[in-house]
Amino acid sequence: MAVLNIGQVRIHPGSVSREEATREAADILEAAGAVTPAYYDAMLQREQTVSTYMGNELAIPHGTNEAKDDILASALAVIRYDGGVDWDGNPVRFVIGIAGRGDEHLEILSQIAILFSEEDEVARLAAAATPEELFALLSEGIE
């Protein structure tokens, strides 16, 4: 099973709060059958301990280590908020929710970090006009 499919990619023109962005990411992961409803709370707990802001307009909310039992399959939720999200004072446009079984989250995180370390790549992702176009660009960099 691929960790990302077109149904898990969204683009919104406006802005939301960090909590709303995290909720949407959790809902997408849950709808994909990757996590239980309890995973959202674990994502919020992780954020209280350490910010998941990564730089380059990217945040990658994910659950705590204690929430491993709430992860049913590895998956991603990718949401672009063109109005931005205030992530503890940091500007975020891309919110990528992650659920990883076992150690798979480390490999997924690594691929995302590499993709978002290139400003040209981030600009290409920001310029994608549709979820389908954004999905196609992401699929080149994430397996």
Residue 1 has pLDDT above 60, yes or no: no
Which is catalytic among the residues 18, 46, 62, 93? 62
Residue 106 has pLDDT above 90, yes or no: no
Are the CB atoms for 85 and 47 separated by under 8 Å? no
Q: Would the pTM of this model clear 0.85, i.e. be above it?
A: yes
12 tagged catalytic: no
Are the CB atoms for 71 and 77 separated by under 8 Å? no
pLDDT at position 108 is 85
Cβ atoms within 10 A of the Cβ of 132, count?
12
Q: How crowded is the C-beta side of 47, counted as CA atoms within 13 Å?
A: 19
